[in-house]
Amino acid sequence: MANPRTIARLESRILERAAICLQSEVSDPRASFITVTRVKLSPDLSSGRIYYSVLGTEGDKSKAAHMLESAAGFLQRQIAVAIHVRRMPHLKWTYDESMERASDMAKLIKEARERDRTINPHVDDAQPSEAGVVEGSDDTGGSDDAGDETDIDADDAEDEDAK
């Protein structure tokens, strides 16, 4: 089992090298819309996954997956040359759906806010009050400041009597 710091260092080097390979060393035009998002290595460094996302349609995603499948050996060798390890982990390419999920979530939030605006057009105008306290009241239950000062003075007088 490798040190977590070593694993993190190797993951970042693999991510960087894979991105450079896809950008400049692979001459396939299908590689132009691929973004390497993250790398996850197993604790024993025997295997790993390189997560990627693709800008485009479902057809573009399918083409990118086929390209990565056919170029996997070349990419594995190029990464192995760059990271200098005794035993190179076997790397698999996996499509990362987190970008799509984040986009879908942002779209849902935007739709919900628009629905809120149709129900209450002034929803964005309202400012949240500080720390959930309603204006015009205080936490002691009193409504005037003079009562608070007399309470403090009474407490101070009791403290002085005790001395």
Higher pLDDT, 48 or 162: 48
Tell me the one-letter amino acid at 50: I
Q: Do 110 and 55 share a structural domain?
A: no
Q: Residue 129 in 3-state DSSP? A: coil
d(CA 21, CA 59): 22
pLDDT tens digits along 13-71? 999 999 999 988 888 877 778 899 999 999 999 999 999 999 888 888 999 999 999 99
Regarding whether 18 and 77 lie in a shared domain, the answer is: yes
21 and 88 housed in the same domain? yes
Q: Do 82 and 104 belong together in one domain? A: no
For residue 95, pLDDT beyond 90: yes
Q: What does pTM read for this prediction? A: 0.65
Q: How many domains does the chain have?
A: 2
Q: In terms of domains, do 74 and 121 share one? A: no
Give a yes or no: residue 161 inside a domain: no
At residue 62, what is the residue type?
S
Structural domain including 115 reads 98-126
